[in-house]
Structure 1
Amino acid sequence: MKERKEIEKQLPQSPPPPYHVLHKLPPGDSPYVRAKHVQLVDKDPDAAIVLFWKAINAGDRIDSALKDMAVVMKQQDRTEEAIEAIKSFRDRCSKQAQESLDNVLIDLYKKCGRIDEQIQLLKQKLRMIYEGEAFNGKPTKTARSHGKKFQVTIKQETSRILGNLGWAYMQQENYLAAEAVYRKAQIIDPDANKACNLCQCLIKQARYLEAESVLEYVVHDKLPGSSDPKSRNRVKELRQELESRQPVALASTAIELNLEDAFLEGLDQLMSQWAPYRSRRLPIFEEISSFRDQLAC
């Protein structure tokens, strides 16, 4: 062992990574690079916002500067200011940046409780998918989470957006609308998180037996993410809530959903393209087709 250590000491050592790589900074010395340095190294968000403004005004990497500034503003509870900044300067950004700016804007609307605007933007993104304009016309896009890159498909993105739309309807206590889009999301790309949200939605409607049935898919590990600790904790919470209530069978009702025809048919056609051998009208559309007049989309 001693000889091995001595040999290792004599071997040439690899040079340390460059400063910008070590701190995950873009190379160079421009207004945007200085803003990122203040944000990531100096940890001074207020000063970083000022420098991001300077980068935008100087035309230096406007796409990244605007998005990064909005994210820092959100962290500083300057949400309304971030929304106005994106609306004011997004026309100076590239076409490729518009989709990511929409995602930031949706998060900002969610944080400050502007649910109606969040819903409209989510529906706009769904229409873009149907019209083939999402992902800049490509079938997948590269996303990043916790420093790791991964590929996202159109199906996954559609299901994610529908899940967010369901959450927004839940905030408005429009549980029938939330149920409709949660079920549609599960048809496209099912997972445990959306199943738990659908369960919560059914509980809100006092449809406890149906809620228990949906939850069983997570309990028996039949959906992606079922074994995740967060999912397990959520299942425990939902089961406790169900056990505290008297099960009630679903009664037939004449309630109308009012799901906008164009919106409904657009998603119907998109999903039929993904599953050409299924009937044109998928089960979820049959289920909600008699409920169209009260679901505000």
Structure 2
Amino acid sequence: MMKVNAGRGKRAGDNDAGEVKRARQAPERPLVTPAVVLVHPQLGENIGFAARAMANFGLSDLRLVAPRDGWPNDKAIAAAAGAVAVVDRATVYDTIEAAIGDLNYVLATTARPREMVKLVLSPETAAAALRERASAAERTGVMFGAERSGLDNDAIALADAILTAPVSPGFASLSLPQAVLLFSYEWLKCQSPKALGRITTFDGPALEGTPTPDTWPATRAELFGLFEHLEGELDRSGFLRPPEKRPSMVRSIRNMFHRMGVTEQDVRTWRGIITALTRRPPSRG
């Protein structure tokens, strides 16, 4: 079968086989991201939203199998927003077989149980498996079915395994863009390093955990000084009474600070608070 390049509107013929052959002969090549194959998509908007989800998480190979409303599609371009490049590079195929012909490993997405013996993967496990295969220079892809009914059994039979997400039994249906976004997110998440949010030249990417700019975790000595200061004032105020309960009260207070993950700035702030609260009011003369 022939395929259409959406951006230029040209058909690529016999040279595709030569390109695939040359790619296989190259032992060292950059990591190839999975292809996202939309089988009989109905709405141009959903194609655009799916392209936007792909771009958010580093995917760019969009393949369309006989889109209902034809191609190119102005509604897809409008919905893609800043991901128009993904839509422009999309390729269109007449059949599923043609769309996945150059791939070494293919997953089929479905939320319904099927009467066939086939490996079932979660999005997280599937992304890790595709990442491993891509590292071995394999070309991979994930098929998504039409909005109304998803993939049929004949389409699923063409895949190596099934990809399905944990969803509520009361409402297990995901929209097409949602399904693409869910897989795309897991794909990027399995990459390293795991940067979060928007990367800027000012402060770089966000990383998981609690950021501590311009400070650092408090040392034990700094914490001990804080404890001595606080407990001394609590003794003077009569808070740590009766005497037999003082040890357990002190341990509870110290454990509260340990759970906070206190920074040296926190220590200085708390000591300032204690000083302010215990300072004697000035005499009126």
Please identify which structure carries the higher helix content: 1
Same fold (TM over 0.5): no
Give the TM-score of the pair, scaled to structure 1.
Answer: 0.21
Please identify which structure carries the higher strand content: 2
Q: Which has the higher Rg, Structure 1 or Structure 2?
A: 2
Give the TM-score of the pair, scaled to structure 2.
Answer: 0.21
Bigger RCO (CA 8 Å, 6+ sep):
2
